[in-house]
Amino acid sequence: MFQGKGNQIVFSLLLLSTNYFHFFIGRANNPSIFLTDCLKKNIFVIVVKIRDIELGEFPLLLAPMEDVSDPPFRALCKKHGADLMYTEFISSEGLIRDAAKSVQKLDIYEYERPVGIQIFGYDIESMREATRIIEKTNPDIIDINFGCPVKKVTCKGAGAGMLQNIPKLIQMTDAIVKETNLPVTIKTRLGWDNESKFVVSTSEKLQDVGVEAISIHGRTRVQLYKGEADWTLIGEVKNNPRMRIPIFGNGDIDSPEKALEYKNKYGVDGIMIGRASIGNPWIFNEVKHFMATGTHLAPPGIKQRVEAAKEHLMMSIQWKGTTLGIVEMKRHYTNYFKGIAHFKELKSKLVTSMDLTEITDTLTYISENESEFYFV
Protein backbone atom coordinates (compact mmCIF):
# COMPACT_ATOMS: atom_id res chain seq x y z
CA MET A 1 0.00 0.00 0.00
CA PHE A 2 1.40 3.44 -0.96
CA GLN A 3 0.20 6.77 0.36
CA GLY A 4 1.65 10.08 -0.82
CA LYS A 5 2.36 12.74 1.80
CA GLY A 6 4.17 15.74 0.26
CA ASN A 7 7.35 14.39 -1.27
CA GLN A 8 7.37 11.56 1.28
CA ILE A 9 5.74 8.18 0.93
CA VAL A 10 4.18 6.25 3.79
CA PHE A 11 4.79 2.65 2.87
CA SER A 12 3.49 -0.55 4.37
CA LEU A 13 3.60 -4.08 3.12
CA LEU A 14 1.13 -6.58 4.44
CA LEU A 15 1.78 -10.29 4.18
CA LEU A 16 -1.25 -12.21 5.32
CA SER A 17 -1.15 -15.80 6.60
CA THR A 18 -3.91 -17.74 8.29
CA ASN A 19 -3.32 -16.56 11.84
CA TYR A 20 -0.70 -13.84 11.74
CA PHE A 21 -0.20 -10.41 10.20
CA HIS A 22 3.39 -9.74 9.23
CA PHE A 23 3.89 -6.14 8.33
CA PHE A 24 6.57 -3.57 7.77
CA ILE A 25 5.74 0.04 8.26
CA GLY A 26 7.73 3.21 7.91
CA ARG A 27 8.42 6.30 5.89
CA ALA A 28 10.79 6.60 2.95
CA ASN A 29 11.28 8.51 -0.26
CA ASN A 30 12.01 5.19 -1.99
CA PRO A 31 9.73 2.35 -0.81
CA SER A 32 11.82 -0.40 -2.40
CA ILE A 33 14.98 0.81 -0.64
CA PHE A 34 13.03 1.10 2.61
CA LEU A 35 11.70 -2.46 2.31
CA THR A 36 15.17 -3.83 1.55
CA ASP A 37 16.54 -2.02 4.60
CA CYS A 38 13.74 -3.44 6.80
CA LEU A 39 14.47 -6.96 5.59
CA LYS A 40 18.19 -6.56 6.30
CA LYS A 41 17.53 -5.23 9.79
CA ASN A 42 14.76 -7.78 10.44
CA ILE A 43 12.36 -5.01 11.40
CA PHE A 44 8.92 -6.55 11.47
CA VAL A 45 5.94 -7.11 13.72
CA ILE A 46 3.90 -10.28 14.09
CA VAL A 47 0.33 -9.76 15.24
CA VAL A 48 -1.31 -12.91 16.60
CA LYS A 49 -4.78 -13.58 15.24
CA ILE A 50 -7.59 -16.01 15.86
CA ARG A 51 -9.29 -15.91 12.47
CA ASP A 52 -9.93 -12.17 12.01
CA ILE A 53 -9.54 -11.26 15.70
CA GLU A 54 -6.29 -9.35 16.18
CA LEU A 55 -4.74 -9.88 19.62
CA GLY A 56 -1.49 -7.93 19.41
CA GLU A 57 2.13 -9.03 19.16
CA PHE A 58 2.17 -11.20 22.28
CA PRO A 59 -1.31 -11.48 23.79
CA LEU A 60 -1.99 -12.09 27.45
CA LEU A 61 -5.14 -14.10 28.07
CA LEU A 62 -7.27 -14.34 31.19
CA ALA A 63 -7.88 -18.01 31.97
CA PRO A 64 -11.43 -19.24 32.51
CA MET A 65 -11.77 -19.90 36.26
CA GLU A 66 -14.89 -21.19 37.97
CA ASP A 67 -16.35 -18.67 40.44
CA VAL A 68 -13.62 -16.17 39.55
CA SER A 69 -13.67 -15.00 35.91
CA ASP A 70 -17.17 -13.53 35.99
CA PRO A 71 -18.05 -10.18 34.35
CA PRO A 72 -16.93 -7.99 37.31
CA PHE A 73 -13.52 -9.66 37.49
CA ARG A 74 -13.15 -9.68 33.70
CA ALA A 75 -13.87 -5.93 33.64
CA LEU A 76 -10.96 -5.29 36.01
CA CYS A 77 -8.61 -7.52 34.04
CA LYS A 78 -9.59 -5.83 30.78
CA LYS A 79 -8.97 -2.43 32.39
CA HIS A 80 -5.50 -3.56 33.38
CA GLY A 81 -4.37 -5.06 30.09
CA ALA A 82 -5.88 -8.48 29.35
CA ASP A 83 -6.07 -8.99 25.57
CA LEU A 84 -8.49 -11.91 25.43
CA MET A 85 -10.77 -13.21 28.15
CA TYR A 86 -12.90 -16.29 28.65
CA THR A 87 -15.98 -16.79 30.78
CA GLU A 88 -16.21 -19.28 33.59
CA PHE A 89 -16.80 -22.71 32.09
CA ILE A 90 -20.43 -23.53 31.44
CA SER A 91 -22.04 -26.95 31.57
CA SER A 92 -23.61 -27.97 28.28
CA GLU A 93 -26.25 -29.92 30.18
CA GLY A 94 -26.99 -26.88 32.34
CA LEU A 95 -27.54 -24.71 29.27
CA ILE A 96 -29.87 -27.24 27.72
CA ARG A 97 -31.89 -27.46 30.95
CA ASP A 98 -31.93 -23.65 31.08
CA ALA A 99 -30.37 -23.76 34.56
CA ALA A 100 -30.21 -20.23 35.95
CA LYS A 101 -26.53 -20.34 36.96
CA SER A 102 -25.44 -21.67 33.58
CA VAL A 103 -27.52 -19.16 31.65
CA GLN A 104 -26.24 -16.25 33.75
CA LYS A 105 -22.66 -17.16 32.80
CA LEU A 106 -23.54 -16.31 29.19
CA ASP A 107 -23.58 -12.61 30.10
CA ILE A 108 -20.91 -10.77 28.13
CA TYR A 109 -20.49 -7.05 27.46
CA GLU A 110 -19.15 -5.00 24.58
CA TYR A 111 -16.25 -3.56 26.60
CA GLU A 112 -14.92 -7.09 27.15
CA ARG A 113 -14.34 -7.93 23.52
CA PRO A 114 -12.75 -10.02 22.33
CA VAL A 115 -14.30 -12.55 24.70
CA GLY A 116 -14.85 -16.28 24.46
CA ILE A 117 -17.50 -18.45 26.10
CA GLN A 118 -16.19 -21.77 27.38
CA ILE A 119 -18.26 -24.94 27.58
CA PHE A 120 -17.70 -28.44 28.88
CA GLY A 121 -19.55 -31.71 28.67
CA TYR A 122 -19.32 -35.38 27.72
CA ASP A 123 -22.24 -35.95 25.37
CA ILE A 124 -21.52 -34.78 21.83
CA GLU A 125 -25.11 -33.99 20.92
CA SER A 126 -25.54 -31.95 24.11
CA MET A 127 -22.38 -30.02 23.30
CA ARG A 128 -23.68 -29.30 19.79
CA GLU A 129 -26.97 -28.05 21.22
CA ALA A 130 -25.14 -25.89 23.78
CA THR A 131 -23.05 -24.44 20.96
CA ARG A 132 -26.20 -23.33 19.17
CA ILE A 133 -27.44 -21.65 22.37
CA ILE A 134 -24.11 -19.90 22.91
CA GLU A 135 -23.90 -18.65 19.34
CA LYS A 136 -27.09 -16.62 19.88
CA THR A 137 -25.33 -14.56 22.58
CA ASN A 138 -22.76 -13.42 20.00
CA PRO A 139 -19.40 -14.11 21.64
CA ASP A 140 -16.23 -13.73 19.59
CA ILE A 141 -15.05 -17.29 20.28
CA ILE A 142 -16.34 -20.62 21.55
CA ASP A 143 -13.84 -22.47 23.73
CA ILE A 144 -14.02 -26.14 24.71
CA ASN A 145 -12.71 -27.16 28.11
CA PHE A 146 -10.61 -30.32 27.99
CA GLY A 147 -8.53 -29.26 30.97
CA CYS A 148 -10.59 -28.99 34.16
CA PRO A 149 -9.14 -31.54 36.62
CA VAL A 150 -11.91 -31.37 39.24
CA LYS A 151 -13.25 -34.81 40.13
CA LYS A 152 -16.95 -33.94 39.80
CA VAL A 153 -16.24 -32.97 36.17
CA THR A 154 -13.73 -35.66 35.17
CA CYS A 155 -15.69 -38.52 36.73
CA LYS A 156 -18.36 -37.87 34.10
CA GLY A 157 -15.76 -37.92 31.33
CA ALA A 158 -15.85 -34.15 30.79
CA GLY A 159 -13.09 -31.55 31.14
CA ALA A 160 -9.73 -33.27 31.51
CA GLY A 161 -11.63 -36.54 31.68
CA MET A 162 -11.78 -36.38 27.90
CA LEU A 163 -8.01 -36.88 27.82
CA GLN A 164 -8.71 -40.54 28.51
CA ASN A 165 -10.62 -40.81 25.24
CA ILE A 166 -8.77 -38.85 22.56
CA PRO A 167 -10.83 -40.23 19.63
CA LYS A 168 -14.02 -38.95 21.26
CA LEU A 169 -12.32 -35.65 22.13
CA ILE A 170 -11.52 -35.14 18.45
CA GLN A 171 -14.97 -36.29 17.35
CA MET A 172 -16.63 -33.83 19.74
CA THR A 173 -14.43 -30.97 18.60
CA ASP A 174 -15.13 -31.73 14.96
CA ALA A 175 -18.86 -31.68 15.64
CA ILE A 176 -18.69 -28.31 17.40
CA VAL A 177 -16.53 -26.73 14.69
CA LYS A 178 -19.09 -27.84 12.11
CA GLU A 179 -21.98 -26.56 14.25
CA THR A 180 -20.84 -22.94 14.47
CA ASN A 181 -19.51 -20.14 12.30
CA LEU A 182 -17.51 -18.79 15.24
CA PRO A 183 -13.83 -19.62 15.81
CA VAL A 184 -13.39 -22.61 18.12
CA THR A 185 -10.48 -22.75 20.55
CA ILE A 186 -9.37 -25.36 23.08
CA LYS A 187 -8.11 -25.29 26.68
CA THR A 188 -6.37 -28.53 27.63
CA ARG A 189 -3.53 -30.20 29.56
CA LEU A 190 -0.49 -32.28 28.70
CA GLY A 191 -2.46 -35.48 29.17
CA TRP A 192 -4.28 -37.55 31.78
CA ASP A 193 -1.12 -38.78 33.52
CA ASN A 194 2.61 -39.18 32.89
CA GLU A 195 2.00 -42.23 30.69
CA SER A 196 -0.46 -40.43 28.42
CA LYS A 197 1.04 -37.08 27.55
CA PHE A 198 -0.33 -37.01 24.01
CA VAL A 199 -0.68 -33.24 23.68
CA VAL A 200 1.64 -32.95 20.65
CA SER A 201 -0.26 -35.44 18.47
CA THR A 202 -3.63 -34.35 19.90
CA SER A 203 -2.92 -30.73 18.98
CA GLU A 204 -2.23 -31.75 15.38
CA LYS A 205 -5.56 -33.56 15.23
CA LEU A 206 -7.39 -30.62 16.77
CA GLN A 207 -5.91 -28.30 14.17
CA ASP A 208 -6.88 -30.75 11.42
CA VAL A 209 -10.58 -30.59 12.41
CA GLY A 210 -10.61 -26.78 12.39
CA VAL A 211 -9.57 -25.56 15.85
CA GLU A 212 -8.08 -22.05 15.55
CA ALA A 213 -6.01 -21.76 18.76
CA ILE A 214 -5.02 -23.98 21.68
CA SER A 215 -4.17 -23.03 25.27
CA ILE A 216 -2.18 -25.70 27.10
CA HIS A 217 -1.70 -26.01 30.86
CA GLY A 218 1.66 -27.54 31.68
CA ARG A 219 0.41 -30.30 33.99
CA THR A 220 -1.46 -33.57 33.65
CA ARG A 221 -4.88 -34.13 35.14
CA VAL A 222 -3.43 -36.40 37.82
CA GLN A 223 -1.15 -33.58 38.96
CA LEU A 224 -4.09 -31.22 39.48
CA TYR A 225 -2.21 -28.01 40.42
CA LYS A 226 0.57 -29.71 42.36
CA GLY A 227 4.26 -29.53 41.52
CA GLU A 228 5.74 -27.27 38.90
CA ALA A 229 4.15 -26.78 35.48
CA ASP A 230 6.25 -28.33 32.71
CA TRP A 231 6.22 -26.24 29.55
CA THR A 232 8.52 -28.54 27.58
CA LEU A 233 5.69 -30.19 25.65
CA ILE A 234 3.97 -26.84 25.19
CA GLY A 235 7.12 -25.71 23.42
CA GLU A 236 7.12 -28.89 21.32
CA VAL A 237 3.56 -28.21 20.20
CA LYS A 238 4.40 -24.62 19.29
CA ASN A 239 7.59 -25.55 17.43
CA ASN A 240 6.04 -28.51 15.62
CA PRO A 241 6.38 -27.57 11.91
CA ARG A 242 2.89 -28.94 11.27
CA MET A 243 1.26 -26.41 13.57
CA ARG A 244 -0.06 -23.19 12.02
CA ILE A 245 -2.45 -21.96 14.72
CA PRO A 246 -1.56 -19.88 17.80
CA ILE A 247 -0.40 -21.83 20.85
CA PHE A 248 -0.78 -20.22 24.27
CA GLY A 249 1.07 -21.47 27.35
CA ASN A 250 -0.49 -21.63 30.80
CA GLY A 251 0.71 -22.60 34.25
CA ASP A 252 2.71 -20.92 37.04
CA ILE A 253 3.17 -17.56 35.34
CA ASP A 254 3.21 -15.30 38.38
CA SER A 255 5.71 -12.58 37.53
CA PRO A 256 6.81 -10.43 34.58
CA GLU A 257 10.24 -12.05 34.67
CA LYS A 258 8.81 -15.54 34.33
CA ALA A 259 6.48 -14.47 31.53
CA LEU A 260 9.40 -13.09 29.51
CA GLU A 261 11.60 -16.10 30.28
CA TYR A 262 8.93 -18.58 29.13
CA LYS A 263 8.10 -16.51 26.04
CA ASN A 264 11.73 -16.65 24.96
CA LYS A 265 12.39 -20.24 26.03
CA TYR A 266 9.33 -21.93 24.56
CA GLY A 267 8.37 -19.61 21.70
CA VAL A 268 4.65 -19.56 22.49
CA ASP A 269 2.37 -17.04 20.78
CA GLY A 270 1.02 -15.73 24.06
CA ILE A 271 0.46 -16.57 27.70
CA MET A 272 -2.72 -17.40 29.59
CA ILE A 273 -2.71 -16.20 33.20
CA GLY A 274 -5.05 -17.68 35.79
CA ARG A 275 -4.46 -17.89 39.53
CA ALA A 276 -1.82 -15.15 39.57
CA SER A 277 -4.47 -12.63 38.45
CA ILE A 278 -6.80 -13.29 41.41
CA GLY A 279 -6.64 -10.17 43.54
CA ASN A 280 -3.99 -8.91 41.13
CA PRO A 281 -5.56 -7.77 37.85
CA TRP A 282 -2.56 -5.44 37.41
CA ILE A 283 -0.38 -8.39 36.39
CA PHE A 284 -1.32 -8.04 32.71
CA ASN A 285 0.02 -4.50 32.35
CA GLU A 286 2.96 -5.34 34.60
CA VAL A 287 4.00 -8.13 32.23
CA LYS A 288 3.51 -5.93 29.15
CA HIS A 289 5.54 -3.10 30.63
CA PHE A 290 8.40 -5.40 31.62
CA MET A 291 8.50 -7.02 28.20
CA ALA A 292 8.57 -3.62 26.49
CA THR A 293 11.06 -1.85 28.75
CA GLY A 294 12.84 -4.37 30.99
CA THR A 295 11.72 -2.34 33.99
CA HIS A 296 8.95 -2.82 36.53
CA LEU A 297 5.81 -0.75 36.94
CA ALA A 298 5.36 0.55 40.47
CA PRO A 299 3.31 -2.05 42.34
CA PRO A 300 -0.24 -1.07 43.30
CA GLY A 301 -0.36 0.64 46.68
CA ILE A 302 -2.98 0.40 49.39
CA LYS A 303 -5.26 3.02 47.82
CA GLN A 304 -5.16 1.28 44.43
CA ARG A 305 -5.96 -2.05 46.02
CA VAL A 306 -8.88 -0.58 47.94
CA GLU A 307 -10.17 1.14 44.80
CA ALA A 308 -10.03 -2.15 42.86
CA ALA A 309 -11.71 -4.10 45.68
CA LYS A 310 -14.50 -1.51 45.91
CA GLU A 311 -15.01 -1.48 42.16
CA HIS A 312 -15.08 -5.28 42.12
CA LEU A 313 -17.57 -5.38 45.00
CA MET A 314 -19.98 -2.87 43.48
CA MET A 315 -19.93 -4.54 40.07
CA SER A 316 -20.52 -7.93 41.74
CA ILE A 317 -23.55 -6.57 43.57
CA GLN A 318 -24.87 -4.98 40.41
CA TRP A 319 -24.51 -8.27 38.52
CA LYS A 320 -25.46 -10.81 41.21
CA GLY A 321 -27.54 -8.89 43.72
CA THR A 322 -26.49 -7.63 47.16
CA THR A 323 -26.36 -10.87 49.12
CA LEU A 324 -24.62 -13.04 46.53
CA GLY A 325 -22.36 -10.19 45.47
CA ILE A 326 -21.13 -9.73 49.03
CA VAL A 327 -20.72 -13.47 49.64
CA GLU A 328 -18.76 -14.16 46.46
CA MET A 329 -16.43 -11.19 47.04
CA LYS A 330 -15.18 -12.71 50.30
CA ARG A 331 -12.72 -14.99 48.48
CA HIS A 332 -11.10 -11.98 46.82
CA TYR A 333 -10.22 -9.77 49.80
CA THR A 334 -7.42 -12.04 50.99
CA ASN A 335 -5.78 -11.76 47.57
CA TYR A 336 -6.27 -8.01 47.15
CA PHE A 337 -4.57 -7.39 50.50
CA LYS A 338 -2.12 -10.27 50.50
CA GLY A 339 1.17 -9.59 52.25
CA ILE A 340 0.02 -6.58 54.30
CA ALA A 341 1.17 -6.60 57.92
CA HIS A 342 -1.26 -6.29 60.85
CA PHE A 343 -4.25 -6.83 58.61
CA LYS A 344 -5.87 -9.81 60.29
CA GLU A 345 -8.61 -7.91 62.16
CA LEU A 346 -9.65 -5.86 59.15
CA LYS A 347 -9.62 -8.89 56.89
CA SER A 348 -11.89 -10.67 59.37
CA LYS A 349 -14.36 -7.78 59.13
CA LEU A 350 -14.33 -7.90 55.34
CA VAL A 351 -14.89 -11.66 55.09
CA THR A 352 -17.48 -12.02 57.87
CA SER A 353 -19.68 -8.96 57.45
CA MET A 354 -22.85 -9.12 55.36
CA ASP A 355 -23.51 -5.39 55.83
CA LEU A 356 -22.56 -3.41 52.72
CA THR A 357 -22.09 -0.16 54.65
CA GLU A 358 -19.75 -1.82 57.15
CA ILE A 359 -17.71 -3.37 54.33
CA THR A 360 -17.36 -0.11 52.38
CA ASP A 361 -16.56 1.80 55.60
CA THR A 362 -13.83 -0.74 56.37
CA LEU A 363 -12.37 -0.35 52.90
CA THR A 364 -12.49 3.45 53.21
CA TYR A 365 -10.72 3.25 56.58
CA ILE A 366 -7.95 1.16 55.03
CA SER A 367 -7.49 3.68 52.22
CA GLU A 368 -7.55 6.75 54.47
CA ASN A 369 -5.09 5.21 56.91
CA GLU A 370 -2.73 3.65 54.40
CA SER A 371 0.31 4.84 56.35
CA GLU A 372 -0.57 2.32 59.08
CA PHE A 373 -0.10 -0.58 56.68
CA TYR A 374 2.93 -1.96 54.92
CA PHE A 375 3.85 -5.02 52.88
CA VAL A 376 5.99 -7.76 54.37
Q: How far apart are CA 77 and CA 96, in angstroms?
A: 30
Q: How far apart are CA 61 and CA 99, in angstroms?
A: 28
First to last CA, the chain: 55
Which residues of the chain form beta strands (DSSP E)? 2-5, 8-16, 20-28, 45-50, 53-54, 60-62, 84-86, 90-91, 115-120, 141-146, 184-189, 213-217, 247-250, 270-273
Q: How far apart are CA 237 and CA 234, in angstroms?
A: 5
Closest by Cα among 167, 69, 151, 210 to 159: 151
128: Cβ contacts below 8 Å, ≥ 6 apart: 175, 176, 179
- Give the number of other CB atoms < 10 A from CB of residue 75: 20
Q: How far apart are CA 138 and CA 133, in angstroms?
A: 10
Active site residue 155: no
Q: Which of 38, 77, 148, 155 is catalytic?
A: 148
Q: How far apart are CA 33 and CA 41, in angstroms?
A: 12
Q: How far apart are CA 112 and CA 144, in angstroms?
A: 19
- Give the number of other CB atoms < 10 A from CB of residue 360: 14
Question: Do the Cβ atoms of 82 and 56 come closer than 8 Å?
Answer: no
Q: Which residues are catalytic?
A: 148
